[in-house]
Amino acid sequence: MENQQEVFVRMAMNAWNNYIKKADTLFKSLSDEQLLKQVAPGRNRGVYLVGHLAVVHDHLLELLGVGERLYTKFDEAYLSNPDKPGMELFPVAEVRKAWEITCQKTEEAFAKMQPADWFMKHTKMTDEDLVKEPYRNRLSVLISRTDHLAYHLGQVALIR
Amino acid sequence: MENQQEVFVRMAMNAWNNYIKKADTLFKSLSDEQLLKQVAPGRNRGVYLVGHLAVVHDHLLELLGVGERLYTKFDEAYLSNPDKPGMELFPVAEVRKAWEITCQKTEEAFAKMQPADWFMKHTKMTDEDLVKEPYRNRLSVLISRTDHLAYHLGQVALIR
């Protein structure tokens, strides 16, 4: 049997990879016209949620301290502000590309990490924080981002 | 620092409790009339998704081997079949009650479990399965059910 940390990381990583794959398959199955539709009347458009997930995962690299941000220009449109129907801040193709690039970047960064790296503090914690609350480590952030991805994926799936 | 298993169980359990609480707060904030609405045109009604989550969590007790099922009568309406608009198989109050009871039952069952219990096989695995794939343990099922809960919670939230 593998060591415990390796088992834990594999569990959380399997869940992350599973939802990244589901999301990627769904986004690719939707046309640009479909992505420009709202998930429900008066709610976010599909393309907004794709941009939102891309920028949240772009932030994740920095939060974990394993990569540089590439999409700070998406912050205002897809993170700090709600969807604005009619306003197309970035073309759908560019939002799709940002999703694809952040998937690649996170995959590459995570592949370089050893199991023990996931149990270290993220960049918003102090050493003391980790001693007091060891369960607030990088892997807990990955678990939380997987739930966040699932939450919005369920919404985008309504466009099909 | 607590032992590794305890840290990991706490990480997964925090995520589960967080989404259970979000869901419970949302369901209680919606009126019966709102729960009878579809989350998007032609899609599942809120009440269907509450029933679906209740019966999936009812199954979870049995799958983990930590409790008996209470809502087998919900299987046909909320698990084996998609939502049927207009058909009200169970009153909204009964579906709300099932959600509440399954929340209580899972909370009670999980409180009795020791960290090491979560790394044992669930009832659909053999001992050999666990040796070969130790990451397919009870805790991996909890992580997967948390993602499932988040997925549908994102949909019910559209009714607000």
Taking only the tens place, the pLDDT of each residue in A81-119 is 999 887 878 999 999 999 999 999 999 999 999 999 999
A52: number of Cβ within 10 Å: 20
Length of chain A: 160
Most A-contacting residue of B4, B138, B147 (CB-CB within 10 A), to test interface: B147
- What is the model's pLDDT at position B85? 80
Write the pLDDT tens digit of every residue in A101-111: 999 999 999 99
Average pLDDT value over all residues in chain B: 95
- What is the model's pLDDT at position B1? 36
Q: Cβ contact (<8 Å) for A11 and B131?
A: no
Q: Is A140 on the interface with B (CB under 8 A)?
A: yes
**In chain A, whose CA is at the least distance from the CA of B18?**
A144
Residues of A in contact with B116 (CB under 8 A): none
Residues of B in contact with A119 (CB under 8 A): 4, 7
Most B-contacting residue of A10, A52, A135 (CB-CB within 10 A), to test interface: A135
Q: How many domains does chain B have?
A: 1
Range of the domain at B17: 4-157
Q: Say which amino acid occupies A33.
A: E
Q: Is B41 on the interface with A (CB under 8 A)?
A: yes
Instruction: Measure CA of the first residue to CA of the last residue in chain B; give whole Å.
Output: 42
Write the pLDDT tens digit of every residue in B24-37: 999 999 999 999 99
Residue B40 has its nearest CB partner, among A2, A146, A158, at A158
ipTM surpasses 0.90: yes
CATH code at position B74:
1.20.120.450
- What is the model's pLDDT at position B87? 80
Q: Print burial letters for A59-80: b (CB count within 10 Å at least 16), e (below 16).
A: bbbbbbebbebbbeebeebbbe
Average pLDDT over residues A61-73: 97
Q: Cβ contact (<8 Å) for B15 and A144?
A: yes
